[in-house]
Amino acid sequence: MKNLLFNSIMVKKIESLYGLAFPEFKALMKKKGETEYRAIQLFSWIYKKNVSDVGSMYTLPNALKEKLISSFVFSPLTQRSVCISKDGTIKWAFCLQDNNVIETVYIPGEGKNTLCLSTQSGCALYCKFCATARMGFRKNLDVSEIVGQVMFVIKEIKRDSINHIVFMGMGEPLLNVKALLKTIDILTHKEGLNFSRRRITVSTAGYVPGIRVLKGASQVNLAVSLNASCDEKRSFIMNINKKYPLNVLFESLDDYYTDKRRRITFEYVLLPGFNMGEEDVQGLARLLNSIPSKVNLIPFNIFPGSAFRSPTEVEVNAFADRVYNLGVSVQVRRPRGSDALAACGQLGASHFAYE
């Protein structure tokens, strides 16, 4: 594997206002001799009005503006490229201050416009059906780098155009759970963007310690990337299953459901010749009928160097029918943005070449 990106270089990172939660805004104002009301004003300017120029925040005193300008930046990322799919999906690549690259995807739909965020640059889990795995692990994103994705896209397409947020981009969100939870707090704060937690979904490949943390900390939706119904197959395509096999994973999910009383979504990437046989159908039904859930079937999206092919429409529908007939709530998630390498499992493919 040959990396076509320049390597990360050591740079002094300037703190971003996007990395502060509301209580930290209050503490910051107190430290600078200002009232709590200034924190509300500043938070509102940044998130409700999406103003990223402190000088334009006319309700703030000039002395405070000068202090902020000298100490902070706003976005820690810059646009590197943008690709627009024929179906309207938009993918942005961003360069971070340390020269790592991440990607963010906006998926428009009828009544449901979804923003897909990255939480890491690269990924350490090396799932065989995912292009991001080919990058290897680069870094955990900090809060400002995750929130910065949201604020950039809002400037491009407006806040009202986004009604769902999914942490399903580059990386395993629950391996960066501290930054993830703080980001969710920022995005859902009533003085700011005020996204509903019920319209935020965190996807995991099955990192059990992170599931336990999420259970105790947030009321967001949980999606689990399953992709096989037996340990042998799942371990072959997902290394994480060797440490947290299906019985351990489902024990944590039972606890999660018992605590949250919210149906869990399972994602199942369809890989012809590997996980679409009759034994896979039966195994999937046995697993998912044990817990209130639904399954999204995702036809595999090819990328340079991938070892699998995409299933045909006939194969997809036949598998979905067989699973549904065994009592599983099932939905086929049709590929979006695949021509722009923006679909599930394709992020990072356009920035790396593979030998």
- Tens-digit pLDDT profile for residues 304-350: 888 899 999 999 999 999 999 999 999 999 888 888 887 788 888 66
Cα separation, 119 vs 147, whole angstroms: 10
User: What does the pLDDT read at residue 54?
Assistant: 92
- Would the pLDDT of 197 be above 80? yes
pLDDT of the residue at 335: 82
Number of H helices, E strands in the chain: 11, 12
According to the model, what pLDDT value does residue 13 have? 56
Domain extents for the chain? 18-71, 77-351
Question: Which one from 36, 123, 344, 355 is the annotated catalytic residue?
Answer: 344
Instruction: Give catalytic status of residue 344 as yes or no.
Output: yes
Between 209 and 216, the more confident residue is 209
What would the pLDDT profile of 223-281 be if each residue is shown by its tens digit? 999 999 999 999 999 999 999 999 999 999 999 998 888 899 999 999 999 999 999 99
Question: What is the chain's mean pLDDT, rounded?
Answer: 90
The one catalytic residue in 34, 103, 145, 267 is 103
Burial of residue 314, with CB atoms counted within 10 A of its CB: 0-12 exposed, 13-18 middle, 19 or more buried:
exposed
Into which CATH architecture does domain 77-351 fall? Alpha-Beta Barrel (3.20)
Q: Do the first three CATH levels of 18-71 and 77-351 match, i.e. the same topology?
A: no
Tell me, yes or no, if 103 is annotated catalytic.
yes
| C-alpha of 317 from chain center | 27
Note the pLDDT of residue 5: 39
Give the whole-angstrom CA distance, residue 345 versus residue 133: 9
- The helix (H) or strand (E) run that includes residue 204 is strand 200-204
Q: 288-309: per-residue pLDDT in tens?
A: 988 999 999 999 998 888 889 9
Point out which residues pair with 173 in neighbouring strands. Answer: none
Whether this prediction's pTM lies above 0.95 is answered by: no
Is CATH 3.40.50.720 the classification given to domain 18-71?
no
